[in-house]
Structure 1
Amino acid sequence: MTTHDELLIGLLSISDRAAQGVYADQGIPALEEWFAQALASPWRTETRLIPDDQAAIESALIELVDDAGCDLVLTTGGTGPAPRDVTP
């Protein structure tokens, strides 16, 4: 938990095309909207938008937990039938 009474939520959106700016990411805004309706206690988000790459995903997860100190980390996007779709 953060040093103050605020929940820090890490949101990691994984999308090759959104990360390249081909289209706008929809995962992070949708999750933030849901949290705004679901949580009564103070919270804020730390967000990342990255391509579907295992090393980038691992690095972003480590950064959100170890460096940013997120209390909760959710991933969204990056799923499909291709072998390179490695989103947890």
Structure 2
Amino acid sequence: MRWKVGILTASDKGARGEREDTSAQVIREMVEEELGGEIVEHRVVPDEKNEIMAALIEMSDYYNAHLILTSGGIGMAARDVTPEATREVVERLVPGIPEAIRHAAMPRNPHAMLSRSIAGVRGVCLIINLPGDPRGVHESLAAILNVLPHALSILSDNTAPFNEYF
């Protein structure tokens, strides 16, 4: 199956056209080359909770994305509101995904423990918060890419294959 993927970048400077969205390009390349996904929508919005929420809902409900990867807005600064916006639109959290990302990143960068990223499910769409910098995006996606086809299959089929651990 070719997964439909949305990319949402939360960046005040990016939304004003003052910064190139290089992280989205990393996401695009990894999704297309390693996941076999199709980018159905890419958007850059300012670090505003309501705008992030609206974009997530539109990508999930209108574009029927199976997966939405956000970039940026997961730090501790006052304007970093991507996790709060994501939490508002998802129905169920998937805490193991951001835990795996932080675990993979911490040996190289102990500051990874400060990431507030979350992952969750809205309908049949998996939404995952990634860092804003290209290197962090690449490392984060590399840490979870191998489990995404399984997760997306479970959501799209609405049936869980046999798994001896769960």
Bin the TM-score by the shorter chain. Answer: 0.7 to 0.9
Which stretches in structure 2 are left out of the alignment for 5+ residues?
A: 84-166
**Number of the residue aligned with 2:38:** 44
Q: Does 1:59 align with 2:54?
A: yes
2:20 to 20, 24, 40: 24
Q: CA deviation at 1:74?
A: 1.0
Q: CA deviation at 1:26?
A: 1.3
Q: CA deviation at 1:87?
A: 1.2
Q: What is the RMSD of the two structures over their aligned residues, measured on CA atoms?
A: 1.4
Post-superposition, which runs of at least 4 consecutive aligned residues in structure 1 deviate over 3 A?
Answer: none
What TM-score does the superposition give when structure 2 sets the normalisation length? 0.46
Q: Does 1:73 align with 2:68?
A: yes
Q: Which structure: larger Rg?
A: 2
How many residues matched?
82
Which stretches in structure 1 are left out of the alignment for 5+ residues?
A: none
**Number of the residue aligned with 1:6:** 2
Identity %: 38
Structure with bigger helix share is 2
**Number of the residue aligned with 1:87:** 82
Tell me the alpha carbon deviations over residues 22-77 of structure 1, each in whole angstroms, 9 at most, x when there is no partner. Answer: 121112101112223312x4x31121111100000000000000011000111111
